[in-house]
Amino acid sequence: MKHVALLVAGALALSGSLSGCGLRPLYGGGPDGAVRSTLSAVEVAPIQGQSGWLVANALKDRLDHNDAPARFRLEVKLDDQISGLGVKRDDSVARERRTLRARYQLIDLSNGNVVLDATAGSDAGIDVVGSEYATIAAEKSALERLSGIVADQIVARVARYAQTAPGAGGQ
C-alpha cells in the first residue's frame, strides 16, 4: 500500500510539472473540444486508385464525420511505388519495398484558403517467394497496412493544426 501511495504522489507531481511546461492533451475537451470538433468537420475528397480508396476509407474512419457540416476539405495525392531490392543469382528479385507517400492539403471551405499543406508516408518490406499469388497477397497486405499508417499520420497532423490554429474548432 505504501508503494501505491508513492506512485500516486509521483504521478501527481509529474502531472503538475507537465502542466507548468505548457503541455496539454491533444484531445482535451472531449467530443466538444477543438480537436474533435475540427476533425469531425473535415470531408475527404475522393482519392484516385486502389491505394486512394484504402487511404480515403481509413481517413473517414478516423475522422468520425458524424454528419456534422463540413468546414474543411482534405485533398490527398498519393504516390504508391514498388521497387525491387535484393537480387538473386538468377537475376530475380528476392525482396521488394512498397512505398506510399501522400501530399495533402486541408482547405478551409469558408474562404478556400489552404490552411495546412504537408506530406506523410511510410514503406514496407515484402519477401518475394516462389508463389506469385503469395507475393501479390503480400503486396496488397502491405498496401493495407501502409494506408492505415499514412491515414494516422495525416489525422495526427490535422489534429495538431486544430489544437494550435486560432478559431479552428471553435477556439
pLDDT in tens, 118-170: 999 999 998 888 888 999 999 999 999 999 999 999 999 999 999 887 654 44
Q: How far apart are CA 73 and CA 58, in angstroms?
A: 15
Give me the helix-helix angle, 132-164 and 49-63, nearest 10°: 40
* CATH top-level class of 31-170: alpha beta
Long-range contacts of 128-135 (CB under 8 A, 24+ apart): 128/84, 128/92, 128/93, 128/94, 128/95, 128/96, 135/96
Q: What is the DSSP letter of 121?
A: E
Q: How confident is the model at residue 6 (pLDDT cuts 50, 70, 90)?
A: very low
Query: 166 or 104: whose pLDDT is higher?
Result: 104
pTM for this entry: 0.77
Chain-centroid distance, C-alpha 9: 35
Domain ranges of the chain: 31-170
23-75 residue pLDDT tens: 454 455 555 667 888 888 999 999 999 999 999 999 999 997 677 788 999 99
- Which grid cell is 70? 463540413
What is the model's pLDDT at position 123?
95
